[in-house]
Amino acid sequence: MTQATFAGQGITLVADVYGDPSDPPVLLLHGGGQTRHAWGTTAEVLASKGWYAVSLDLRGHGDSEWAPDGDYTIDSFAEDVRLVAATFAEKPVLVGASLGGITSLIAQADADPPGSAARAIVLVDVAPRMEPAGVSRIGEFMLAHLDGFADLDEVADAVAGYNPHRPRPTDLSGLRKNVRQREDGRWYWHWDPRFLTGRFGSQDETRSREMYPNRLQQAAATLTVPVLLVRGRVSDLLSEEGAQELMELVPHAEYVNVAGAGHMVAGDRNDIFNDAVVGFLDALRV
């Protein structure tokens, strides 16, 4: 794995890259409030299977630059992704979780010409129809800790509270990838608070303004490239009804429903998730 930078729309984006740059590219896009490190194991597996895996920090997240004007609209995320995708010798597969999935939909639908940004799309626990209770729970979790944490134990407690079905980590060192320690000694999430509170923001990671879900439904209906939807079976954000609505909008899509996984599918059942994505990508080679 090496680190690379890409030019977004007026900002610099940071990524971890895995594998041979001459292999077909896969661009991994995390959810709101996460970082590129959410894909570490998946990226390693993809590289071992002959893909060039690029795990990108979205604007305002991780080590990517924060938007100077606080612009965290879905259009800005999507334009960043289109600019990164255009740097590869061939169109990438977009793998997007939650916010990353919504970004993938809009990036593909609004490309010039439409549908030209990606060769295929993997949507991870996201679809045009999302459950309000699940969306609200994400927003409440993110807004509850804007004042930071006294130590990594508090960070671990907060994560365990949001994901009670996942064992609380005993080794807290991995949490350092998602938080920063400032001069006051407190630990803060590795993303720009204006993502939620800025003048372009909204109170949830999916930027649910008037254009949702209609805009996302319209974007999904335009998809002609291969599509895989991976849902966490116990997700409170994407219901089975929401998944089936996507399948009606995109009849050629494939669907995997992962038992024992919630909204954070790749983290909850990484082995099953990786198998599903690798199987889908292998079919693209035929």
Q: Which residue has the tokens 């209609």?
A: 214
The ranges assigned to domains in the chain are 2-130+211-284, 134-196
| pTM (global) more than 0.75 | yes
- Classified as helix, coil or strand, 54 is strand
Cα–Cα–Cα angle for 121, 29, 205, rounded to 5 degrees: 105
Q: Is the peptide bond before 113 cis (omega within 30 degrees of 0)?
A: yes
Q: H/E element holding 159? A: helix 152-162
Beta strand 179-181 with 187-189 is: antiparallel
Across 20-35, b (16+ Cβ under 10 Å) vs e yields eeebbbbbbbbbbbbb
CATH code given to domain 2-130+211-284: 3.40.50.1820
Q: pLDDT of the chain along its 286 residues, tens only?
A: 999 999 999 999 999 999 999 999 999 999 999 999 999 899 999 999 999 999 999 999 999 999 999 999 999 999 999 999 999 999 999 999 999 999 999 999 999 999 999 999 999 999 999 999 998 899 899 888 899 999 999 999 999 888 887 888 888 888 898 899 999 999 999 999 999 876 555 444 444 444 567 899 999 999 999 999 999 999 999 999 999 999 999 999 999 999 999 998 998 899 999 999 999 999 998 6
Taking each continuous run of H as one helix and of E as one strand, the counts in the chain are 10, 10
Q: Which residues pair with 228 in a beta bridge?
A: 122, 254
Q: Is the peptide bond before 213 cis (omega within 30 degrees of 0)?
A: yes
